[in-house]
Every structure is written in structure tokens, then in C-alpha cells.
Amino acid sequence: IVIFFHVNVQLYQVSVPIYHVSVPIYHVNVPIYQVSIPIYHVSVPIYHVNLPLYQVSVPIYHVSLP
């Protein structure tokens, strides 16, 4: 007797919104040597990371031996 059935594991779309990370670093003035070091915005654009995990069908076979 062999009975088999499907177990449907539904994993939907996981969207992770990660937006701009702005690191404002402005002028660094060193008054000993009077050297101005301009360090401007470092903007790191990291957008949506879409992880499409769709429906996974897992077949499980139930085997019954007499």
C-alpha cells in the first residue's frame, strides 16, 4: 500500500527595504598646519533587496509494507 500526498510550503516574497545611508562628514580643519581636508557626503544607495521565495511543493511518500 503506497499513499503519497503533497505538503505545500508557501513561502512568499520577502522584500527588505534598505534606503539611503547618508554619512555627512564635512570639513576637517587642522589649525596647526592650516590644512583643510574636505571630506564630503558619502551616500551609499542600497535599494530594495527582493528575495522571491515561491511555493515549494514537497512530495512525501507514505510507504506501508505488510
pLDDT tens for each residue of 5-51: 666 666 655 565 655 555 565 655 656 655 665 655 555 555 555 55
pLDDT grade, residue 54 (50/70/90)?
A: low
Alpha-carbon 3 to chain mean position? 40
Residue ranges per domain, the chain? 2-63
Please answer whether residues 2 and 61 qualify as being in contact, where contact means their C-beta atoms are separated by less than 8 angstroms.
Answer: yes
Q: What is the pTM of this model?
A: 0.14
Q: How far apart are the C-alpha atoms of 20 and 48, rounded to whole Å?
A: 11
Strand 49-51 to 28-30 pairing = unpaired
